[in-house]
Amino acid sequence: MKLDLMPVVTEKQIVEIEEAANYVWHNYYKEIYSKEQIEYMLKKFQSKKAVKKQMSEGYLYYMLMCDENFAGYLCIQIQSDCIFISRLYIKPEYRRQGLSKRLIAHVDSIFSSKENELNHIKKLKLNVERKNIFAINVYEHLGFKRVRSVDTDIGKGFICKEFVMERKVAGV
């Protein structure tokens, strides 16, 4: 399987990200969040407008292409002491094929390279919903450790209950 990671730069790509988020959240998170919370979170965090705003604030979105088909996406933010993985979504039909592992390995390779000016960053960090057992298991398999629990008020009375997970950048 040929895997490519393409930077999201066009309006069409942003719309594809928005559509993928809608599909994933409505089909996967319905066991975790109410329909109202899903709709709110999609509008606030994954709508075309929200993605554009995040990109203007330095978030980097990438489309995961498998054999030239859109299989998911990744969003990272470079922080002073870590790479924050804000989003990592794989479409259901592409799950359980090692794509998360390959995406994280790609992030590792970028930031551990001696030629990269950001090679001083030694840690990857992400937040994951505490009820998302599948994702927690995937991240733990990839070497992430739970470092703390956080309850975040995201507005409109909705709370996200997450684990903060971290691991060292491989190769450093």
pLDDT digits (tens, 9 = 90+) for 8-50: 999 999 999 999 999 989 988 898 999 999 999 999 999 999 9
Residue 160 resides in a domain: no
pLDDT of residue 119: 63
Residue 133 resides in a domain: no
pLDDT of residue 116: 61
Q: Count up the domains in the chain and report the number.
A: 1
Q: What are the tens digits of pLDDT across the range 132-165?
A: 999 999 999 999 999 999 999 999 999 999 999 9
Q: What are the tens digits of pLDDT across the range 54-78?
A: 999 999 999 999 998 999 999 999 9
Going from the C-alpha of 120 to that of each of 27, 106, 110, 115, 147, the distances in angstroms are: 38, 17, 12, 11, 21
Pick the residue with more confidence: 100 or 121? 100
pLDDT of residue 51: 97
Residue 163 resides in a domain: no
Q: Name the band, by pLDDT with cuts 50, 70 and 90, for residue 102.
A: confident
- Percentage helix, strand, coil, to 5, in the chain? 40, 35, 25
Residue 132 resides in a domain: no
Report, as an integer, the average pLDDT of 111-137. 82
Residue 140 resides in a domain: no
Residue 64: CB atoms within 10 A of its CB come to: 25
Give the sign of the dihedral formed by CA 8, CA 44, CA 15, CA 131: positive
Domain enclosing residue 76, as ranges: 3-121
Is 105 a residue whose pLDDT tops 90? no
pLDDT of residue 130: 96
Q: Model's pTM, two decimal places?
A: 0.90
Pick the residue with more confidence: 110 or 79? 79
Residue 159 resides in a domain: no
Is 115 a residue whose pLDDT tops 80? no
Comparing 1-5, 64-68, 118-122, 125-129, the range with the smallest average pLDDT is: 118-122
Residue 147 resides in a domain: no
User: What CATH number does residue 63 fall under?
Assistant: 3.40.630.30
Residue 79 resides in a domain: yes
pLDDT of residue 107: 81
